[in-house]
Amino acid sequence: MLCREAARRVVYSHGNEVYIHSVERRGGWLVAVCYVRSESSRDKCYQVVLKLRPGTRYFTGHCDCPDFKYRGGPCKHIVKAKVALREYLKIAKRVE
Ligand SMILES: [Zn+2]
């Protein structure tokens, strides 16, 4: 997805690098859909879906970049999305 499309309708954007589209509770999970800017092609964003267990440090993540597909493990986009989500949750808590 192009980042300028990902930048529309966001709940939170983190320094033009991470765009959080939605954060919602599903069962016992907090599910966040994010778009993270690619380092190599700057107008492109990868989709990262993060699932967190609220109140614990446990999370899983999925990214649609080639690195994640190849290694099947956490890539830097997941790390970036997690940092942005933590910031967002801090702000959301303050607003409540
Ligand atoms: Zn990735």
- pLDDT for 42-74, tens place per residue? 999 999 999 999 889 899 999 999 999 999 888
What is the domain count for the chain? Answer: 1
CA of 96 to the centre of ligand 1 (A): 32
Residue 52 domain boundaries: 3-95
Helices vs. strands in the chain: H and E counts, helices first: 3, 5
- pLDDT of 73 reads 82
| Residue reference for tokens 């016992």 | 28
Query: Range with the lowest mean pLDDT among 29-33, 46-50, 63-67, 92-96?
Result: 92-96
Q: Letter for the amino acid at 94?
A: R
Say if residue 96's pLDDT is above 70: no
How much of the chain, in percent, has pLDDT values that exceed 90?
A: 85
CA of 76 to the centre of ligand 1 (A): 6
Task: Tell me how far apart the alpha carbons of residues 51 and 58 are, in angstroms, rounded to a whole number.
Answer: 9
CA of 24 to the centre of ligand 1 (A): 21
Please provide the average confidence, as pLDDT, over all residues in the chain: 93
Task: Tell me how far apart the alpha carbons of residues 19 and 35 are, in angstroms, rounded to a whole number.
Answer: 5
Task: Tell me how far apart the alpha carbons of residues 45 and 66 are, in angstroms, rounded to a whole number.
Answer: 12
